[in-house]
Amino acid sequence: MTEREETISELENQVITIRRDILTMIHAARSGHPGGSLSATDFVTALYFHFMRVDPRNPDWPDRDRFILSKGHACPLWYSCLAERGFFPVEELLTLREINSRLQGHPDMNKTPGVDITTGSLGQGLSAGVGMALGLRLDRRDARVYVIVGVGELNEGQIWEATMAAAKFGLDNLTAIVDYNNLQLDGYCHEVMPIEPLADKWRAFNWRVLEIDGHNMSAILDAIETAQATRGKPTVIIARTVKGKGVSFMEDECDWHGKAPDDGQFSQAMAELGGSNGGGKGGEGDLPPRQASSSHSDAQRVASAERGTPRSNTCGERVPTRDAYGEVLVELGEENPDIVVLEADISKSTRTCHFARRFPGRFFQFGVAEANMMVAAAGLATTGKVPFVSTYAVFGSMRACEQVRTFIAYPELNVKIAVSHGGITPANDGVTHQGTEDLGIMRTIPGMTVIMPADYYATKALVRAAAAYPGPVYLRFTRDPVPIIYGPDDLFEIGRGKVLRQGDDVSLIALGDMLCVALEAAEELAESGVSAEVIDMHTIKPIDRELVVETAAKTRRVVAIEDHQIQGGLGSAVAEVLGEDLPTPMRRIGLQNTFAESGRYDLLLSKYGMDSSAIIGAVRELLDQECEGHNEQVHDS
- The catalytic site residues sit at 370
d(Cα 368, Cα 72) in Å, to the nearest integer?
14
DSSP string, 406-421: IIIITTT---EEEEES
Give the other-Cβ count within 10 Å of 575's Cβ: 18
State how far the alpha carbon of 432 is from the alpha carbons of 108, 151, 422, 599, in Å: 9, 19, 12, 13
In angstroms, the CA 176 to CA 183 distance is: 19
How many Cβ atoms from other residues are within 10 Å of residue 467's Cβ? 21
- Strand order of the β-sheet with 506-510 is 498-501, 532-536, 506-510, 558-565, 586-591
What is residue 119's three-state secondary structure?
A: coil
- C-alpha to C-alpha distance for 337 and 117, rounded to whole angstroms: 45
CA dist., res. 384 & res. 225, Å (int): 56
Phi–psi pair at 577, nearest 5 degrees: -65, -50
DSSP β-ladder status, 318-319 and 482-483: antiparallel
Dihedral sign computed on CA atoms, order 560, 563, 565, 568:
negative
Distance of CA 116 to the CA centre of its chain: 20
Positive or negative, the CA dihedral 131, 156, 405, 445 is negative
Rounded distance between C-alpha atoms, residue 376 and residue 385, angstroms? 12
- Residues 479-493 as b or e (16 or more Cβ within 10 Å = b): bbbbbbbbeeeeebe
Strand 339-343 with 586-591, pairing: unpaired
540: Cα within 13 Å, side-chain hemisphere: 34
Q: How many CB atoms lie within 10 A of CB 607?
A: 14
